[in-house]
Amino acid sequence: MPSLLILIPAVMVILINLPVKEILKRVAFLLALLYILAQAAAVIFAPAYLMNTPQLFALNLVIDSFSLLMLLSISIVGLSALCVGWFTLDDSNKKSDFVSLLLLSIIGMNGVVMVRDLFSLYVFLEVVAIASFILIALDKDREALEGSFKYFILSAIATVMMLTAISFLMMVTGDTSFEAVRATFKAGTITFWPVLAMVLFVVGLFIKAGVVPFHGWLPDAYSSAPAGVSVLLAGIVTKVTGVYTIIRLVTMVFGFSPSLNKVLLIVGAISIIVGALGALGQKDMKRMLAFSSISQVGYIIISLGAGTQLGIAGAVFHLFNHSVFKSLLFVNAAAVEEQTGTRDMDKLGGLAEKMPITGITSVIALLSTAGIPPLGGFWSKLIIILALWKAGLFPYAIIAVLASLLTLAYFLSMTRRVYWGKVPEQLADVTEAGAGLVVPALVLAAITIGVGIAFPYILNTFILPIRSIFG
């Protein structure tokens, strides 16, 4: 029942906001929690049911194994964002608004991963985008509004490019569904309008994904948003609206071609390097994590640019791992900011003894990001480097390996400044964050470790089936 993944949360949003005695506002957290757990459970325990049951209305929504993996990521990150947001926002009205907007963005993302038509894809991307603008601006202070405005303008540019591309494709094809457009690209002859459409669409998606040189909005939006919103944005929104869509369209609609591969490789490589170098010079914890996101998305793009099935598998696996460890890092940044009141790393120090769980889970996340075994990030980076090596793209493989060292460098610098060393006097009575922030951190850390250790099982159950749909 794919349409239930859109209709049930929509009904919940309406229920939460009914002007009836505000009882439902207080249980908004529980409603959203129940729904997200149900979505995760459906993906893990009843995937065949989700994929094969007939539709409720005649909606053209299709779930395949890639969509399943994305639905799982959406529920994991949605859960973390829900907990972080609920327990860090102060006003009860803001809390229920946050939950409603979170559910609306989950509806949009569920739609994006299930559609098979370019125009429907655009419509659901707009749902996610509008929910994100409002979420970033939720605090209504100057910084948040500025970050939201920047994201808004760049997103509008990306939207215009995508719409123009869709209109060109419709001009040539007469239809906007994935199969019809695929047939046009498969025809073999390289004509002007489809190629122009492809270029416009891919550039629009690069803006949404926040890769270099379209990353200008990303550090501001991530760092000025409230804590729960940063988790959501970094963990899943840019991944679904940007990276998932690029992977889906390149493999299912446009098809690999030497020039497209080259563009992906170059953009990916530049993002890896610029993101890593940018992260090295940051003082604000969330800005450093934002630049790190740019770098990791570069890894996903470069793996896609390899153009082989192993490359696609690596990109998808790293996409999943990145959602998990990046959310974990942002959850811990939220915990640190909540308990100490600052994100400036020069003012922090020695938090590992005051906030042990936050410290340990942060170290797990950073080791996974840098690609240290036996954590999940190691396996996905290994597959990416192997894919690049086997495709003969040696310089790119070397860039990927060396950038891992840079990743380790900036994250060790962050850990040394925040968690190790002496505790400054003003932070002398800082305690561990509440259960609302610690439980998501523990769950995410467990997933990171579990994916790493149980890698053969994950590979056979989740990753290899994805390769076959792109055959």
82 CB-contact burial (10 Å; exposed 0-12 / middle 13-18 / buried 19+) = buried
Stretch that binds other proteins, among 146-154, 246-254, 350-358, 365-373 (CB under 8 A): 146-154
DSSP letters of 364-376?
Answer: HHHHHHHT-TTSH
**3-state DSSP percent of the chain in helix, strand and coil, to 5:** 80, 0, 20
Q: Judged by CB, which is closer to other proteins: 110, or 368?
A: 110
> Which residues, 191 to 220, sit near other proteins by CB under 8 A?
191-193
Which of these ranges, 21-29, 190-198, 438-446, 456-464, lies near other proteins under the rule CB under 8 A? 190-198
**Does 186 participate in binding other proteins (rule CB under 8 A)?**
no
Q: Give the residue, chosen from 19, 54, 174, 188, that forms a contact with other proteins under the rule CB under 8 A.
A: 174
Alpha-carbon dihedral of residues 184, 66, 217, 366, nearest 10 degrees? -140
Judged by beta carbon, residue 129 or residue 328, the one nearer other proteins is 129
Q: Site residues for other proteins, window 101-140 (CB under 8 A)?
A: 101, 104, 107-108, 111, 115, 117, 119-120, 123-124, 126-127, 130-131, 133-134, 137-138, 140
- What Å distances lie between residue 193 and 119, 184, 196, 203, 264, CA to CA? 18, 11, 5, 15, 20
67-96 positions binding other proteins, by CB under 8 A: 93
Measure the CA–CA gap between 71 and 109, rounded to whole angstroms. 8
Residue 17 lies near other proteins (rule: CB under 8 A): yes
Q: Which is nearer to other proteins, 126 or 284 (CB)?
A: 126
Nearest to 116 by CA among 64, 78, 157: 64
Size of the residue set binding other proteins (CB under 8 A): 48
- CB–CB of 442/332 below 8 Å? no
Assigned token pair, 423: 């505790």
Least distance to other proteins, CB of residue 127, Å: 5
The number of residues in the chain equals: 471
Closer to other proteins by Cβ: residue 191 or 468: 191
CA-nearest of 254, 271, 279 to 214 is: 271
Of 5, 6, 106, 197, which one interacts with other proteins (CB under 8 A)? 6
Which residues are registered as beta bridge partners of 153?
none
CB atoms within 10 A of CB 469: 13
Query: Counting contacts by CB under 8 A, is residue 461 touching other proteins?
Result: no
Nearer to other proteins, 62 or 273 (CB): 62
Identify the residue among 41, 46, 141, 426 touching other proteins (CB under 8 A): 141
CA distance 209 to 215: 8
* Cβ at position 4, least distance to other proteins in Å: 13
Which residues of this protein are in contact with other proteins, per CB under 8 A?
Answer: 6, 10, 13, 17, 57-61, 93, 97, 100-101, 104, 107-108, 111, 115, 117, 119-120, 123-124, 126-127, 130-131, 133-134, 137-138, 140-142, 145, 148-149, 152, 156, 159, 163, 170-172, 174, 191-193
